[in-house]
Amino acid sequence: MIEMFYKGGLMMYPIAFASIVALAVFIERMWALRRINIFSTNLVIAIRNIKSDEDVENLKTVAAAQESVLSRLVLFLLPYRELPMDEQKDIIEEQGRQEIRFLHQRLGIMETIAGVAPLLGLLGTVLGMIRVFAGLNMAGIVKATSLSGGIAEALITTAAGLIIGIPTLIVYNYLESISKEHILDLEQYLNQLIHNLNLLRRKK
């Protein structure tokens, strides 16, 4: 494996670096996008069970005891619970945009690597073919060492770029789908919270 790495030429180094970065981002995002970091079951239950002021206070207690995207949004919204529903939605929508940025952090890095890694492999292919043509002597004969070395460099870097690029693209799409699912869930729970708060206000 190490021998193949060196045969791939200079372009193997940026390809290897890209693979390390992609792996690090994948591990970090899988940890960050865990359900517990976005919302918890007991917080969702507290939102659904709002029927009195005591339930609102219980929700505030549950949210304050957690550190998640939904808990922060709940605590941000509760002081405005006496406002009309439309104003509440406008307020939480703006704050929600700030929180949602957390869900998309560093995914752009993976998307870039997925696109760049095959291009780095292609560049290695071009450099390998340049070595082949550089091995031509005045009579137009290619030296065997230059030919084999150049072809090896071309094939290895192409394969390496695809080996890194394809899985990175798959992982990027997977993480992006998780982020979108979390966003849809957050919207659902926050809309339910606003609805329940307005129902409670009408009863007074």
Instruction: Extract the residue ranges of the chain whose pLDDT is less than 50.
Output: 138-139
Among all chains, which residue has been given the structure tokens 């809309």?
191
Contact criterion met (CB below 8 Å) for 48 and 192:
yes
What's the pTM value of the predicted model, to 2 decimals?
0.82
**Domain limits of the chain?**
2-203
pLDDT at 104: 86
Q: Are 75 and 180 in contact (CB under 8 A)?
A: no
Interval 112-127: pLDDT, tens: 999 999 999 888 888 8
**Which of 129, 120, 162, 165 has the alpha carbon at shortest distance from 147?**
129
Q: What is the pLDDT of residue 128?
A: 76
pLDDT, tens digit, for every residue of 138-149? 445 555 555 555
| pLDDT of 120 | 92
Pick the closest to residue 22 from 96, 117, 99 (CA basis). 117
DSSP the chain: -HHHHHHT-TTHHHHHHHHHHHHHHHHHHHHHT-HHHH--HHHHHHHHT--SHHHHHHHHHHHHT--SHHHHHHHHHGGGTTS-HHHHHHHHHHHHHHHHHHHHTTHHHHHHHHHHHHHHHHHHHHHHHHHHHHTB-TTSPBPHHHHHHHHHHHHHHHHHHHHHHHHHHHHHHHHHHHHHHHHHHHHHHHHHHHHHHHHHHHH-
pLDDT score of 70: 93
